[in-house]
Amino acid sequence: MRASRLLSVLLLLQNRGQLTAQQIADELEVSVRTVYRDIDALAAAGVPVYAEHGHGGGYRLLDGFRTRLTGLTAREAESIFFAGVPDAAAEMGLGAVLATAELKLRAALPASLNQQVGRVRDRFHLDAAGWFRETETHPRLAALAGAVWDERRVHLTYERHARPKVVERTVDPLGIVLKAGVWYFVARVDDDLRTYRVAAIVDLEVLDERFTRPDDFDLADTWATWADDFERRLFRGEAVIRLSPSGVEMIPYLMSRAMARGTQHTIQPPDADGWVRAVVPIESVRHAHGELLRLGADVEVLEPPELREMLRATVARLAAFYGSAPEESAAARTSGSTR
């Protein structure tokens, strides 16, 4: 562990030039005191590292010194594919491994290519989380990721919407997917492939028993097929709506992807007032009620009647709330609740 960290300190100084003890500590997620000890250990081993004191000082290597201890371990090589999503790598317990692998790669590159790597990082960044919510975290995600890497079966207890609510099952975890800030994993149960949400896991035990991955399994293709099928099964109903010009513009921002895609494909030519008719796929009347309220007065539901009535009742309640001063509105609600 310490040998790996010492190499990381060395590679940081080689790739970045002069760094303060605090900068090294932040990069390696250790204390400044640990960095001092590591610097002393490198110097004792003959590495030409020296300190520049005063404002703007820090640690640096003697000009021209370069290490060639840049061979990647198997774990580090595997982690390279997470270079664009470091937060996701950290969630799965691969953060330190990825950081070391990247340092080794950059140390092995010629100076011109090393600078090019820095330019790419400065210009392109992938943020995998969805807007307005944090990426889900789960205390057993790292253990699950380890089981996927090592091809070990897991025994899990998870919650689901159907009955029974809590189910236990032994599965072969084949892959993990991060979808808009939500973690899922694909597993084989007997001869079937199933997808689970990581947040639904109540308990998870990694077993000693190993499994053999199917030769023809492709995680990206499996996920794409499952996601398309999930949307088709989820959005089984339809609603006929009218949208104002502003409502049409807000479709990509205020509707879920499946609803927005279905609506945009069915928009009819505008009427004299500029409003258009469209058919929107819906999961249920109650779900559509919440989704379409986001569009406010820029949408009118024509069908089904129960959805139109639900929205009418909500608008009537809102009108009652905002039709008078706050004190009068609160008094009216209190009076109505005591009758």
Whether the model pTM is above 0.85: no
The fold for domain 2-123 equals Arc Repressor Mutant, subunit A (1.10.10)
Say if 2-123 and 141-232 have the same CATH topology: no
Task: Find all residues with CB under 8 Å of 27, minimum gap 6, and list them.
Answer: 12, 19, 99
Q: How far apart are CA 98 and CA 78, in angstroms?
A: 9
CB pairs under 8 A, 24+ apart, for 34-40? 34/5, 35/9, 38/2, 38/5, 38/6, 38/9, 39/9
**Could you tell me the pLDDT band of residue 72, with boundaries at 50, 70 and 90?**
very low
Topology adopted by domain 141-232? SH3 type barrels. (2.30.30)
Q: Is the pLDDT of residue 244 over 90?
A: yes
The pLDDT of residue 149 is: 82
DSSP β-bridge partners for residue 197: 184
SS3 293: helix
- Reported as a single tens digit per residue, the pLDDT across 98-121 is 455 555 555 555 555 455 545 545
For the cut 70, the answer to whether the pLDDT of residue 89 exceeds it is: no
Locate the domains of the chain by residue range: 2-123, 141-232, 237-322
Main-chain phi, psi angles of 203, to 5 degrees = -150, 150
Q: What is the CATH number of domain 237-322?
A: 3.30.70
